[in-house]
Amino acid sequence: MKILFLDQSGKPGGAELCLIDIAKPYQNNCLVGLFNGGSFKDLLEKNQIPVQVLTNKAIQVKKESSLTQGIASITQLAPLITKVVKIARNYDLIYANTQKALVVGAIASFFSRRLLVFHLHDILSPEHFSQTNRRIAVYCANRASLVIANSQASKKAFIEAGGKADKVEIVYNGFDPQTYINKESEIKQIRQQLELDDKFIVGHFSRLAPWKGQHILIEALAKCPPDVAVILVGDALFGEQDYVKQLHQQIDALQLQNRVKFLGFRHDIPLLMAACNLVAHTSTSPEPFGRVIVEAMLSGTPVVAAASGGAVELVEPGINGFLTTPGNPQELTEVINSCIQDKQKTAAIAQTARNSASQRFHVVNINQQIAQLLT
């Protein structure tokens, strides 16, 4: 089977990392078409996956765009759609991996007479998307032959937004457990490099954005013992520099300057996670899936997650992790303190999580599920 994958991003977010794993088995019979150049293209090439940047013109429509802006974007997309139609005729199906890719893919599917598959990585709710964007996404997705949702939460929101239930199948993200095995010497070394080798490190791994809740973790940190430190791994991506300034102001006000480190975007995520004593997921809005949660599990590091969206499908409290009420720093403080006080129980929870996640989310098993759905 020959597949034309489409993705709007030039930067490697969760959906893009997932796409790399999905495309690998088809690397001799596929092409990934991007609507933007950037580091994601480099990652695809590194994994020997054929890739082509189809346009260098930014698509202006955003998650909060109005109907007028949405219609205007269609005319803007005309040259891109024409190019995709021409390419698609050399493939058996179009696999749209993001919302903008879905719109282009749906139109190209009609004109090229190729099957359309949509991989839904988002929760189509008012918190995340305007009514116009939800309507467009659902309209296009309902014309696909298959919608792959990355969680029960994503599927539920899709159906509530008007999506056809009989088109949706749930397939969680896949991971290679070997990627998350690190040597003790390397873990010790990175802790020393961070100058935190004598600290209880709580790691937060995501882009810096209000709904990702880094401010919740900082507020929780203020009530933790002085030997607790936080590393924030990630950066502002979509004009969220004001939020970064707010985080620095919050840290200054709480006098936590020596206990919080901003590490920016990093490529050594598995090692950094293994160096942490706890990984915190603090999203204030429902997360579609929560890759960070599974990555922490595979790294052998205990994880605490905000109990909403896909996170509740991944974490069983007290069994393979901890859950807190979204936006509640006090509960987060309590979890951090309990992990410090009962290290044996915490270590057992982390080991249980690693064992179960290695089976449940193994990339080979996930790719088998997708291959069966595509045939």
> Which residue carries 């936590």 as its tokens?
256
As a whole number of angstroms, the distance between CA 206 and CA 300 comes to 19
Query: What pLDDT does 12 receive?
Result: 87
Work out the mean pLDDT of the chain and round it to a whole number: 94
Q: Which pLDDT does position 216 carry in this prediction? A: 98
- What is the reported pTM? 0.91
Is the separation of the CB atoms in 231 and 347 below 8 Å? no
Q: Please answer whether residues 309 and 286 qualify as being in contact, where contact means their C-beta atoms are separated by less than 8 angstroms.
A: yes
Give the pLDDT of residue 239.
Answer: 76
Unique residue bearing structure tokens 């189809």? 54
Whether residue 68 is predicted with pLDDT greater than 60 in this model: the reply is no
pLDDT higher than threshold 90 for residue 357: yes
> According to CATH, what is the number of the domain 177-360?
3.40.50.2000
Q: Can you tell me the mean pLDDT for 96-111?
A: 96
Q: Average pLDDT in the 28-38 region?
A: 95
Q: Which helix (H) or strand (E) holds 55?
A: none
Q: Is the pLDDT of residue 256 over 70?
A: yes
Q: What is the mean pLDDT of residues 254-266?
A: 96
**Whole-number percent of the chain with pLDDT over 90:** 89
pLDDT in tens, 112-140: 999 999 999 999 988 888 999 999 999 99
Res. 64 pLDDT band, cuts 50 70 90: low
| Among 72-76, 156-160, 211-215, the least confident range | 72-76
What confidence score (pLDDT) does residue 11 get? Answer: 86
Provide the pLDDT confidence category of residue 355 given band limits of 50, 70 and 90: very high
Contact by Cβ (8 Å): 32, 53: no
One-letter amino acid for residue 52 of the chain: Q
Average pLDDT value for residue range 214-234:
98
pLDDT value of position 63: 53
Side chain identity at residue 61, one-letter code: V
Mean pLDDT of all residues in 3-8: 97
pLDDT at residue 83, rounded to an integer: 97
Which pLDDT value is given to residue 370?
A: 97
pLDDT band at residue 263, thresholds of 50, 70 and 90? Answer: very high
- What are the pLDDT digits (tens) for 176-208? 999 999 999 999 999 999 999 999 999 999 999
The pair of structure tokens assigned to 328 is 């509640």
Q: Specify the domain boundaries for CATH 3.40.50.2000 within the chain.
A: 3-171, 177-360
Q: What confidence score (pLDDT) does residue 10 get?
A: 87
**What pLDDT score does 359 carry?**
96
Q: Inform me whether the pLDDT recorded for 67 exceeds 80.
A: no
CA gap 161, 141 in Å, rounded = 11
For domain 3-171, the CATH class is: alpha beta
